[in-house]
C-alpha cells in the first residue's frame, strides 16, 4: 500500500514538473527570439512572415512579397514560374514538401508545391481570380482548393473532390486551410441565396471538417450564422480534431475578431478562450499537432484601423499570453506553432517593417501583459 502511494505521489510530482516546463517537446530547449533574413528586394522593402515550421530549423513563409523558405536564419527564394510575380509558402510537411500560393496581377492565384533543391515549383491548380489554397499535413497528405472547389491528393494526384455539407446552400464555395496527421481536413464554406419571400440575400460562412476516411463532412456552428456583417473562419485543426479560428465582424469602420475553438463531435457553438489583457480582439491562426498550444494575433481597432497588435500564445488552458519583441504599439503576429515549442510569425521593427521571426521555447517566453 505504501509503495503504491509513493508511486502515485511521484507520478503527480512528475506531472507537475512537466506542466510547469511547458510542452513536452520543449524540454532542454533554449529560449530565443530569432530574426530571419529577408530576401533582397527592388524598390521599397516589404514585410516578411513565417507561416509554417518544418523539422529542425526549417521555416517557410513570405519575404518581400516572394515565397521563401529558411534554413536557420538564411533565406532561400522559391523559384517562380514565368509570369508569376510573388507568393507565399503556407505550410510544410515533415518530409520537406512545401505548399503555398503564387500571385500575379491584383487577384490571380494558383496553388503550388515545392521541395528544396527542385529547379521549379509544381503548379497544383490553374490560374484563377476566385481563390486558390493548399495545405499539407505532417505526413505529406495534400489538399487544394480553387474556384470554390476543394480536392484531396494521394501520391501526387487528386483522388476526390471534397463535397459540401448536406445543409449547404446550393452553389456554395469551399476552401481548404489545414489537414492533420490522421487526414482530417479543415476548410471554410461560403454560400448565399436570395430569399424571394423577404427580398433579402442570406449568407452563410462557417468552417467545415471532412473526416479522414471519406465520411460526410461536418458543418461547424457559428455564433452569427446568417448575418451579412459576420464571417467565421477555421484556421487550423490538430491531431485530436480540435479546430481553432475566429469570427470576423466587418462593416465600414467596425472591425472585430472573436477567438473561437470547436471540439469533436462538433455539435455545439464554438467556445471563446478569452482575450489578451490590454487588447480587445483576438484571431487564432494556428495550433500545434498534439501539445494544445495555439497562437494568433491580438489587436485593438480604432475607426477600422489597427491601433495596436501583439503576437499571442495560448497554452490551451488558462489565460492568453503575449510573446515578446517588436517596437511600438503594433508589434506583430504569430502564425505557426509546433509540438517542440517553436512559434513562427512576424515582428515589426522601429520602421514598421515586419521581420520574419521564430520564437524557440515559446512557452517559456510567453507572459501575461499588465492590465
Q: Provide the sign of the torsion angle of the four alpha carbons 296, 302, 304, 308, taken in this order.
A: negative
Phi/psi at 26 (5° precision): -85, -5
CA angle 241, 136, 325 (to 5 degrees): 85
* Long-range CB contacts for residues 152-159, cutoff 8 Å, separation at least 24: 152/185, 152/210, 153/124
Put the strands of the sheet holding 66-71 in their side by side order: 48-53, 58-63, 66-71, 74-77
Residue 111 near residue 99 (C-beta atoms within 8 A): yes
Distance from C-alpha of 144 to C-alpha of 99, rounded to nearest angstrom:
9
Quote the pLDDT of residue 278: 95
Domains defined along the chain, listed by start: 33-365 (2.130.10.150)
Quote the pLDDT of residue 255: 85
Task: Kindly state the cell numbers that stand for 54.
Answer: 518544418
Nearest to 81 by CA among 41, 119, 136: 119
Quote the pLDDT of residue 316: 96
Q: pTM of the full predicted structure? A: 0.90
Quote the pLDDT of residue 106: 84
**Mean pLDDT, each 10-residue run in order, the chain (371 residues):** 36 34 63 95 78 97 97 97 95 97 93 96 92 94 96 93 94 96 97 85 92 95 85 97 95 88 97 96 98 97 89 97 92 97 96 95 96 70
Residue 247 near residue 232 (C-beta atoms within 8 A): yes
Quote the pLDDT of residue 306: 87
Residue 304 near residue 316 (C-beta atoms within 8 A): no
Give the side-chain half-sphere CA count within 13 A for 102.
24
Amino acid at each position: 500500500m505504501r509503495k503504491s502511494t509513493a508511486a502515485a505521489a511521484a507520478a503527480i510530482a512528475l506531472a507537475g514538473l512537466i506542466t510547469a516546463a511547458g510542452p513536452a517537446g520543449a524540454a532542454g530547449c533554449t529560449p530565443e527570439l530569432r530574426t530571419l533574413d529577408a530576401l533582397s528586394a527592388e524598390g521599397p522593402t516589404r514585410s516578411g512572415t513565417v507561416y509554417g515550421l518544418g523539422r529542425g530549423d526549417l521555416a517557410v513563409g513570405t519575404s518581400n512579397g516572394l515565397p521563401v523558405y529558411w534554413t536557420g536564419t538564411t533565406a532561400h527564394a522559391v523559384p517562380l514560374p514565368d509570369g508569376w510575380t510573388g507568393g507565399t509558402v503556407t505550410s510544410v510537411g515533415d518530409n520537406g514538401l512545401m505548399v503555398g500560393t503564387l500571385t500575379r496581377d491584383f487577384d490571380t492565384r494558383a496553388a503550388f508545391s515545392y521541395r528544396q533543391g527542385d529547379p521549379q515549383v509544381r503548379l497544383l491548380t490553374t490560374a484563377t481570380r476566385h481563390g486558390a489554397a493548399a495545405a499539407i499535413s505532417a505526413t505529406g497528405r495534400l489538399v487544394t482548393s480553387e474556384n470554390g472547389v476543394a480536392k484531396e491528393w494521394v501520391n501526387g494526384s487528386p483522388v476526390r473532390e471534397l463535397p459540401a455539407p448536406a445543409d449547404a446552400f446550393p452553389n456554395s464555395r469551399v476552401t481548404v486551410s489545414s489537414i492533420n496527421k490522421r487526414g482530417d481536413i479543415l476548410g471554410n464554406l461560403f454560400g448565399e441565396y436570395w430569399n424571394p419571400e423577404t427580398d433579402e440575400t442570406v449568407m452563410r460562412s462557417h468552417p467545415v471538417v471532412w473526416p479522414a476516411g471519406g465520411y460526410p463532412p461536418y458543418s461547424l456552428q457559428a455564433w452569427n450564422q446568417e448575418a451579412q456583417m459576420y464571417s467565421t473562419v477555421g484556421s487550423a485543426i490538430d491531431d485530436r480534431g480540435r479546430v481553432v479560428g475566429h469570427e470576423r465582424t466587418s462593416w465600414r469602420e467596425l472591425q472585430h475578431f472573436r477567438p473561437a475553438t470547436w471540439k469533436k463531435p462538433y455539435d455545439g457553438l464554438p467556445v471563446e478562450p478569452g482575450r489578451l489583457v490590454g487588447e480587445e480582439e483576438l484571431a487564432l491562426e494556428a495550433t500545434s499537432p498534439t501539445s494544445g498550444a495555439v497562437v494568433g494575433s491580438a489587436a485593438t481597432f480604432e475607426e477600422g484601423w489597427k491601433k495596436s497588435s501583439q503576437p499571442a500564445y495560448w497554452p490551451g488552458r488558462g489565460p492568453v499570453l503575449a510573446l515578446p519583441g517588436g517596437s511600438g504599439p503594433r508589434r506583430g503576429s504569430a502564425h505557426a506553432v509546433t509540438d517542440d515549442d517553436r512559434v513562427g510569425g512576424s515582428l515589426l521593427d522601429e520602421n514598421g517593417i515586419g521581420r520574419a521571426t521564430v520564437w524557440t521555447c515559446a512557452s517559456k517566453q510567453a507572459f501575461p501583459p499588465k492590465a
